[in-house]
Structure 1
């Protein structure tokens, strides 16, 4: 009978030790899980801040580009008004038109000069030849004796 009580007490002590060890390992897992959740929350907030900074940057860039276009348009209009107001010399206008016509003729001559832009493929001399983009271009067929 005393042996039975001793076995029961030993089993109880072993059970308590195992329970404490399992409980601690469960706590470390939940602690690790909480830490990971905190890291995820920090990363999410950092990502949200980054997105806001990117949006702000592009909004400001668009605003500055709009202002740049407006200023360029104003300068162009100012120069055109000044040219119309200050340059009434007919000889100068005729000279400007001649230069414009010469530029147009030069562009037309360069188109008819017979030159061709480089090709990004090798021309085939025989239509039955395989093109350079064929999968087996340049590969020799294996002979039947091999």
Structure 2
């Protein structure tokens, strides 16, 4: 089901993603970050569902379908760099900053910052073109501790 999508995503010079593909890539990236510490629990999945529902104004069945597709895609996708590249090309900077904040919400939902999650989020932020200070502010906003 995702073979065509993955082939386009890993192409040397991929075309920009349409809205549906960008939505799927972002959803899969949220899942990838949640799974990066080896634990993908109900709280992380619920946070991703909340983010997707709010970001895309999805009904519960639409959100569940997107999340299931994202979980499947994430297991088949080759690497985080390619997801991130596709998202960077499809989303303006301001919205990418919001993506980093959403990623932080997923990382922090279980109340713990695992080293693996921090490392993946640092990589993703960098690949999205988000500076370390902007990522730190996004984390503070996600934690509710922004000045």
TM-score (norm 1): 0.20
- Higher normalized contact order (CA 8 Å, seq sep 6+, divided by chain length): 2
TM-score (norm 2): 0.20
